[in-house]
Structure 1
Amino acid sequence: MEQDFWVFVRENIIGRNAVIRTPFGKRKLTYADYTASGRGLLFIERYMQKVLELYGNTHSEDDATGMITTERLHQAEKTIKRLLNAGEQYKIIEDGTGATGAVHRLQQILGVYIPPAAKDSFQKLLARYFQGKELKPFESFLLQNRPLVFVGPYEHHSNEVSWRECLTEGIEIDLTEEGLLDLDDLETKLSRKEFRHRQKIGALSAASNVSGVVTPVYEVARVLHRHQALAFFDFAAIAPYGEIDVCRDAESYFDGIYFSPHKFLGGPGSTGILIIHQKIYRKDLAPTIGAGGTVEYVSFHEQQYYPEIEIREKPGTPGILQIMRTALVMELKQKLDPERILKREKELIRRALKRFNACNPIEIIGNKDPDKRIAIFSFNIRLGTSYLHPRFVTILLNDLFGIQSRAGCSCAGPYGHRVLHIDEKKSLKFKERLMHGYSGVKPGWARLNFHFLMTDEEFDFIFDAICFVCRYGKYFLSLYRFDIHTGIWFNKGYSPPKVTFGLEEAVRAGEGEREERSLQELFGRYKHEALKIAEALKNDFDEKAIKTTEKDLIPFVYL
């Protein structure tokens, strides 16, 4: 391919010329939300169409479609494992649509997950059997001997809340003063004498989906193994950008990893991936789901399961196309060159930190060392002793400039408590307000990320827009209504277009991508129009009319 491959991929991003309607007119979409989800790619979708021409179910190899699809599926799984350095001792298991399904399957394999209804039924049966006599000593024994799960300080809910619902005791590792994982605290907690007889499981994020701070995973794995603990890592936030080696050496290997390929370029529509070392799997037990495809023989009264882990953990019809798509997007990352990706990321991080530092009202969350983070940024904009509401910030970026970002706590509540300095007393106040239906007071931040394929022009445009919101955002408060019950901001004089979906639209589809337009011309016009509106609003703005949510929480401004 003569042109630079990065340019080719960038030009194949689906929706790169999409236009959205906002209260201030039409805006070209500028996507800065890859941390939540990747974007589709035309050449991958066209290839998947070709795959569909000879697609068939994989549970038969007696016809062409079954045979070809089965072979392609096997090739896809081999590709995924090869790119993770997962040799024969590692097994691939696909589940759900992302890391959430994958970690849930891991918990089932480890034998620590019990469905809530089953747990409740079991507790009732125990109560009936013991009739209150010996139940409490049994419960005490159970609590003192259940497995320990060591989680990091910046986990996604999927890798923390899910473990809380298991038959495990959670041990959180602290942050250092620099906002990094405290390896000394991990070592100390693993070394406790009272933990010696208990199974130890390490389940930590490889990077924060809030601050982008990176975990030294190989060093962590080494520490965990030194204390006879299993080492599992959630790579959801960093997998689309960094290289992963599950079997680096005899000490820092991983017992398992899980991630969300939908966050990759071309990834939407893929499947959650779990890679495990075969030593953690018990083949003497039934698979996690007994179903078609897992059984070698079934009679009237018994069944025999396949001994191969990758077969017995593939119940029913697998996500065939989803697995193939996953392999393709992982191959794509490799072809884009992880070293080049890393170099571009570091460049964008340094430039972003320089621009953020120039905007005084901005408070960035997390460690600012470019060598200890990826290009994910979460921030708040201070206004005096209060803040612009994070969802108001994202609404203005969308409505005025077409920039796609995200606001909230990014499914990382415990980390949010730490970085926003929310103590137990304040946390209980927040909970009380939320339980009474006031979701608008919920703390959080605005989040975006600077993808390595983002052009310099797009980068500068996004920062110009952020700086504009810092300087002029408060003047737009009068144009929006804040619903304190939901946290949603509504433009007072605007009704958004109806969102449609259905077969009729599918039949009419196929007009193709819109014609490329000059970004310089569009971005310049958006900034000029936003400034013109801001200046007009500034003339009529009454500072005294600003209201704030409760000052003893984290106060947000509104009118």
Structure 2
Amino acid sequence: MVAVQERHPAQAGREVRLGSRPSGGRGPGPARNVTPSYPTPSGARGTAVCQRLEEAIPVAFEDEVADLCQACADLASGVTMATARKAIVGVDRKVPLYDGRQITYVNFDNAATTPPFESVLTVSQMFLQWYGSVHRGSGLKAQISTHAFERCREVVADFIGADLLWQTVIFTQNATHALNKVAMHLAPPPDHVVLTTVMEHHSNMLPWRKLGCHVDYARITREDGRLDLADLEAKVRRHAGKLAVVSVTGASNVTGILPPIRRIARIAHEAGAQIVVDATQLIPHRGFKMGAPDDPERIDFIAFSGHKMYAPFGAGVLAGPKAAFEDRAPDDVGGGTVHAVTMDDVMWAPLPEKEEAGTPNVLGCLAIGCVVKVLESIGMDNLAEHERELTRRALAKLSRVEGLTLYGLKDPDLTEDRLGVITMNARDLCHGHLAAALGHEWGIGVRNGCFCAQPYVRELLGITDAEMHSIVARLTAGDHATVPGMVRFSFGVYNTPDEVDYAVEALQAILAHGPRANYILDPQHMEYVPETPIVRVQELLPI
């Protein structure tokens, strides 16, 4: 059971109306009393929630879902840019340092995953009282779960500007699953080409390669990590008449660079190709709409994950034209994908059901629907400007740290828009050692390595082919510790200027005086850890 603290004074007295009916609303007549056990958030807002939940609850499933949606909207509406930090779960969590001190954790690893909003957890627990298997169930819980599941699909479609008359929103496990699925459906004949870029996450490279596609790559400019658009255009011309797909990232998880996806979409469409955008890093940080069918700059397909946009529980989204999926067998087959099966034939279910094999992750999809409402309440423009301010501050200060190398765009004035993702290396200290010192000595969570984008990181680091062969040999031998990489800061909606200043202070101290603790390589995980740890993970979370 999650106890949700009163975070937003402006919400005191606001009623979250789950279990109540507006006048003129639907309802089957007299209510049937039920007494479910709901979460009990604290404070005036939580009291209003619980009072409503204890009222008589009619059995019309459409009404129950409407009330759940209203609860979601009411909880989300109190979250603004000013209150977003207080609405995050675990934001004040203290962690032990190597010397036994406790300090409030600073999470600069948001490009990997984000903590959830409290309202997402609250609504999820409300929903769990009605949780059942979706589709075809005759019981009330199954009907409510199905209706809520499909309502979340509509919410997501509206958020990304997808028109469900001609487009489909498919719930997936995550963005990697979504990109594999779209590759399965769009993989062209051997004599056609998929054009992607060197700056992609592996999830937007490997699916095409696994399918045996002819893949070409647009280069980057090594000095700043930007996509070489002239090279992309040249390769589009080179493959004229044979280009089937252009697949690009919407925002880099290594440098925060935002490729000009609208211009790339126009170039792709003029060449007769479709465009796929890996929007995993883009969706949580910038407003996005797919575009009308006659818009030459429309995005044909996008993929993204819930866990990178403050929605836990493991669900993702693939959106694209229905026509791309309707006349093909689904990539995963079995339960939920069919209307009828004989010993000789199969009749596939309609979209999107036929592309969601097995029992879907209803709770994960609900979390995405809930977090969309929170992001809309904050305002994507407000969120983006907050993260720009953090990035300006960080770049201005980091650029003055002696012995620190930054990668990608370094202009603190942000003359070119970018995300709050900053990668770096320290002189005389490998990336793994630096990340360990930040975590164990300062309580700052970062990520180090190549961030599932090894070709891009290799280019940014200027690694030669000969050096790469040596690196592969070391990896094959199990040596992960000496492989080149970087340290990454990545900001979220809840991070603060004070946290940026604290992280810069930490870097200055580490680079000037070295790590305070003695570190050894953990042979199991090949990570640097203090030689004499004060506390072990197993002790903090004994499971």
CA contact (8 A) 1:395 1:489 kept: yes
Q: CA deviation at 1:34?
A: 0.6
Tell me, yes or no, if structure 1 residue 476 matches structure 2 residue 520.
no
Residue 320 of structure 1 corresponds to which residue in structure 2? 362
Q: Deviations over 1:57-110 (max 9, x none)?
A: 1123532212211111111000000111101211111222x2111111112222
In 1, Cα distance between equivalents of 2:97 and 2:232 = 48
Residue 169 of structure 1 corresponds to which residue in structure 2? 214
In 1, Cα distance between equivalents of 2:396 and 2:473 = 39
Residue 226 of structure 1 corresponds to which residue in structure 2? 270
Residue 352 of structure 1 corresponds to which residue in structure 2? 394
Q: CA deviation at 1:263?
A: 0.6
Q: Which of the numbers 1, 6, 13 marks the counterpart of 2:88?
A: 13
* TM-score, length-scaled by structure 1: 0.78
Tell me, yes or no, if structure 1 residue 189 matches structure 2 residue 231.
no
Residue 532 of structure 2 corresponds to which residue in structure 1? 493
Gap change, CA 1:107 and 1:166, over 3 Å in 2: same
CA contact (8 A) 1:440 1:485 kept: no
Tell me, yes or no, if structure 1 residue 337 matches structure 2 residue 413.
no
Tell me, yes or no, if structure 1 residue 54 matches structure 2 residue 130.
yes
Q: Deviations over 1:418-470 (max 9, x none)?
A: 10001111111222222233222100011111323212222221221122222
In 1, Cα distance between equivalents of 2:300 and 2:235 = 20
Q: Which amino acid aligns with 2:508?
A: C
Q: Which amino acid aligns with 2:318?
A: L
Q: Which of the numbers 261, 267, 279 marks the counterpart of 2:306?
A: 261
Secondary structure of 1:296's match? strand
Secondary structure of 2:287's match? coil
Residue 373 of structure 1 corresponds to which residue in structure 2? 418
Gap change, CA 1:314 and 1:340, over 3 Å in 2: same
Q: Which amino acid aligns with 1:364?
A: L
In 1, Cα distance between equivalents of 2:525 and 2:348 = 49
Residue 329 of structure 2 corresponds to which residue in structure 1? 286
In 2, Cα distance between equivalents of 1:417 and 1:106 = 27
Tell me, yes or no, if structure 1 residue 39 matches structure 2 residue 115.
yes
Residue 523 of structure 1 corresponds to which residue in structure 2? none
* Matched ranges for 1:121-140 at <5 A: none
CA contact (8 A) 2:442 2:506 kept: yes
Q: Which of the numbers 340, 343, 347 marks the counterpart of 1:304?
A: 347
Secondary structure of 2:215's match? strand
Residue 68 of structure 2 corresponds to which residue in structure 1? none
Q: Which amino acid aligns with 2:204?
A: N
CA contact (8 A) 2:170 2:318 kept: yes
Q: Which amino acid aligns with 1:320?
A: V
Q: Deviations over 1:104-150 (max 9, x none)?
A: 111222256xxxxxxxxxxxxxxxxxxxxxxxxxxxxx8xx343111
Q: Which of the numbers 41, 66, 71 marks the counterpart of 2:142?
A: 66
In 2, Cα distance between equivalents of 1:320 and 1:467 = 46
CA contact (8 A) 1:200 1:229 kept: yes
Unmatched 5+ stretches in structure 1: 113-141, 506-559
Gap change, CA 1:288 and 1:483, over 3 Å in 2: closer
Residue 167 of structure 2 corresponds to which residue in structure 1? 90
Q: Which amino acid aligns with 1:461?
A: Y
In 2, Cα distance between equivalents of 1:291 and 1:436 = 40
Tell me, yes or no, if structure 1 residue 463 matches structure 2 residue 504.
yes
> Which deviates more, 273-282 or 236-245?
273-282
Residue 423 of structure 1 corresponds to which residue in structure 2? 464
Q: Deviations over 1:191-238 (max 9, x none)?
A: 11xx34434211111111011111111111001111111100101112
Gap change, CA 1:178 and 1:497, over 3 Å in 2: closer
Gap change, CA 1:344 and 1:337, over 3 Å in 2: same
Gap change, CA 1:22 and 1:379, over 3 Å in 2: same
CA contact (8 A) 1:110 1:281 kept: no
Secondary structure of 2:168's match? strand
Aligned length: 461
In 1, Cα distance between equivalents of 2:482 and 2:137 = 57
In 1, Cα distance between equivalents of 2:123 and 2:219 = 46
* Matched ranges for 1:97-108 at <5 A: 98-108=174-184
Q: CA deviation at 1:38?
A: 0.6
In 2, Cα distance between equivalents of 1:243 and 1:258 = 15
Gap change, CA 1:498 and 1:278, over 3 Å in 2: closer
Unmatched 5+ stretches in structure 2: 1-7, 12-78
Structure with the bigger percentage of helix:
1
In 1, Cα distance between equivalents of 2:131 and 2:232 = 48
CA contact (8 A) 1:21 1:497 kept: no
Q: Which of the numbers 180, 192, 211 marks the counterpart of 2:226?
A: 180
In 2, Cα distance between equivalents of 1:178 and 1:497 = 40
In 2, Cα distance between equivalents of 1:472 and 1:256 = 49
Q: CA deviation at 1:291?
A: 2.0
Identity of aligned residues (%): 25
Tell me, yes or no, if structure 1 residue 446 matches structure 2 residue 522.
no
Task: Tell me the C-alpha RMSD between the 2 structures.
Answer: 2.2
Q: Which amino acid aligns with 2:536?
A: P
Gap change, CA 1:203 and 1:82, over 3 Å in 2: same
Secondary structure of 1:253's match? coil
In 2, Cα distance between equivalents of 1:430 and 1:476 = 29
Q: CA deviation at 1:170?
A: 1.4
Which runs of at least 4 in structure 1 moved beyond 6 Å after TM superposition? 483-486
Tell me, yes or no, if structure 1 residue 203 matches structure 2 residue 244.
no
Tell me, yes or no, if structure 1 residue 28 matches structure 2 residue 104.
yes
In 2, Cα distance between equivalents of 1:345 and 1:399 = 26
